[in-house]
Structure 1
Amino acid sequence: MQIIRTMKNILSTLLLCFVLLGAHAARLDTVLVPSAAMQKAVKCVVIAPTGTAKLKNLQVIYLLNGYSGNHSDYAKHMGAYLKQQADAHHWIFVCPDGNNSWYWDSPIDRSFRYETFISDELPAYVDAHYHTLANRSGRAIAGLSMGGHGALFNAIRHPNVFGAVGSMSGGVDFRPFPANWDIAKRLGALDTATHNWDAYTVQEQVSQLKNGELAIIFDCGVKDFFHTVNHNLHERLLALGIDHDYIERPGEHNWDYWNNSISFQLLFFQHYFDKASKP
């Protein structure tokens, strides 16, 4: 009898665990997204809310990784939090592998067409495979470091695709770092391809923005090596009369900072989605 009672207790505990997990169990998948532009498939992590198949008009947040990272970074470092947010707000998070690309279509290497992938092929794939709100009012894009640059670069150039954009410790002006992060491999050397270095940096891209065209948030830690370029971008946007949220706080270029920053970015996107959904 004691054995039977013990077994019943074990089964009851297991059942309770399954119930609790089922009540909060956003799905995390790794998918291969085809890119016709690059003639290859790109690995992406997709975090989708519980009951995705039955939900409609899901909003999507694209998260871009930094240099030397990959599609799995966000899942490794903040996966539990993103799952909770996916379930709480019925959001989908999509994390593509950036492959040290800086998320451009490289003007000198035709095998790197990551702007086309991020702003065309990937949203088309996500909209075709999930019940998304398939327009700019249902899409936000953010990233950290190289990915912060990529998010701003793509959103500025494709405001018809993304309605809101965020950057955490973004490399928003890489011209002070001409020997770093394989940038010369994608743009050419700074001294011989100065036009590319100017044209492909966020600091110069913002000149084409119209005020109110994008909901913009970016931040950087005051001990980060990208702090100066982020502060300069803030000053440039003020001079251009472009509304934006800019935050400086204690921190360095690391996951301790980004794990804190992400909650502010997502709160900003929540406000954008709420505002965009109103008639």
Structure 2
Amino acid sequence: MNFTALTPPLGDNRKLIDRFMKPLSLFFILFLSLGATLSFAQKGKLSGKAKLKAQLESHRWTSPLPEEKAKALPKNVRHATFKSPSMKIEVGYYVVLPYGYHAPENKNKKYPVVYHLHGGRPGAESKSVSLAGFVLKAMRTGKIQPTLYVFPNGGPMSWYNFPQAENGLGEDVFVKELIPHVDATYRTFGTRSKRGIEGFSQGGRGTTRIMFKHPELFGSTAPGGSGYEPEEKIRDNEGAESGAIKFVSGYDAWSLAKAYSKRKNVPPLKPMLWVGAKGFNYDYNLKYMIYLDQLGISYEKLIVPDAPHSAKIIYEKKGLELMQFHDRNFGP
């Protein structure tokens, strides 16, 4: 028997092999791609949790500047602490004392106070204290009245209550503990009409939430460069900012503004929203202004041309307008 006749030519074998292997190769590539995608997603989820864990563990409720940097601060800027009644630990803050605060002739004089909420996570009272120089210059030159400025520590989640973390109630420590401590320790008026709040980025988010949640506390409010996009995400996802971070549903700048607009007999707020026109969240700040218009909430706006997402640069360019906004609200 001639077996040669029964054996396909070599070229035919290759064609058969190619026809058989190409689908297998495609399937194998798709299988590997799917596995890589799932693996990446799992790693991303884990990295989010790991990042949160590292953030929470790195936070310290007392975070002063390093000694060398602290030496460069004006003498009117002081670091202080108080013992938190709820946490039983020391909580740090910086306070800017007006010129003449300790002069004998001023021993009975009282002062308005502005709280500046820092950006970023986790919290640290040292993060925004460099703005103190602008404040002191404005007071020294008579552009604003003598005023205390306080730079608090926002806690592990920066101005949010985050009970999942140990000692994680950043908002409560600020509102329920620091403010009463400052009023008891320094010669503030201790009244809504002479108390202001401002902040930038995360601090702008915190300022917005806190002013709408506690309008009875602040007569002057100014959220700046606020991250209203993640706040909207929290609203739309029942409190979830990400896979790793979840707050109570309704605990966001959009929901709290709406709730405030529906409340009866609440103290009026007319905040100043300030933002750099070249900041990455500029458009969302404009969107939030439109939202306030829809809710019937009045506001002023301070848009700084050519300014990026930087509180310091905005203060350099237009900080005096922001400080004078508070000054007008405080009155003589």
Q: TM-score range by the shorter chain?
A: 0.7 to 0.9
Selected match of 2:302 from 247, 252, 259? 247
Aligned: 1:236 with 2:287 = no
SS of the counterpart of 2:90?
A: strand
Larger radius of gyration: 2
Q: Which residue of 2 aligns with 1:215?
A: 270
Normalized per residue, which structure has more strand? 1
Query: Which amino acid in 2 is paired with 1:131?
Result: R
Paired residues of 1:45 and 1:94 also in contact (CA < 8 A): yes
Partners of 1:27 and 1:189 lie apart in 2 by 39
1:192 to 1:28, Cα distance in 2 relative to 1, 3 A = closer
Residues 71-113 of structure 1: CA distance to partner in whole angstroms, max 9, x if unpaired? 223332x332222335541100000122452302115335211
| Residue type of the alignment partner of 2:88 | Q
How many residue pairs are counted as aligned between the two chains? 242
Counterpart position of 2:167: 111
Please report the TM-score for the alignment, with normalisation by the length of structure 2: 0.65
TM-score under structure 1 length normalisation: 0.77
Q: 1:81 to 1:193 in 2, by over 3 A?
A: closer
Shift of 1:234: 0.3
The 3 A distance-change label for structure 1 pair 107 and 192 is: same
CA distance in 2, matches of 1:100, 1:224: 25
Does residue 45 of the first structure (1) align with residue 94 of the second (2)? Answer: yes
Return 5+ residue gaps in structure 2 as ranges: 1-73
Supply the RMSD in Å over aligned alpha carbons: 2.7
1:259 aligned to 2:310?
A: no
CA distance in 2, matches of 1:172, 1:100: 20
Aligned-pair CA distance for 1:56: 2.1
Q: Does 1:74 align with 2:131?
A: no
**What does residue 268 of structure 1 align with?**
325
**Residues 48 and 154 of structure 1: is their aligned pair in 2 closer, same or farther, counting only changes over 3 Å?**
same
Q: Deviations over 1:173-218 (max 9, x none)?
A: 415778xxxxx9xx65646987x47522212210122486123011
1:22-37 matched pairs, under 5 angstroms? 27-37=76-86
**Is 1:142–2:198 an aligned residue pair?**
yes
- Of 112, 116, 122 in structure 1, the residue corresponding to residue 178 of structure 2 is 122
One-letter amino acid of the counterpart of residue 71, structure 1: E
Query: Distance in 2 between the 1:202 and 1:261 partners?
Result: 25
The structure-2 alpha-carbon separation of the partners of 1:168 and 1:131, relative to structure 1 and needing over 3 Å to count, comes to same
What is the DSSP-based 3-state SS (H/G/I as helix, E as strand, rest coil) of the residue aligned with 1:215? coil
Identity of aligned residues (%): 22
Which residue of 1 is the match for residue 250 of structure 2?
199
Question: 1:58 is matched with which residue?
Answer: 111
SS of alignment partner, residue 228 of structure 2: coil
Q: Structure 1: where are the runs of 5+ without partners?
A: 1-24, 179-183
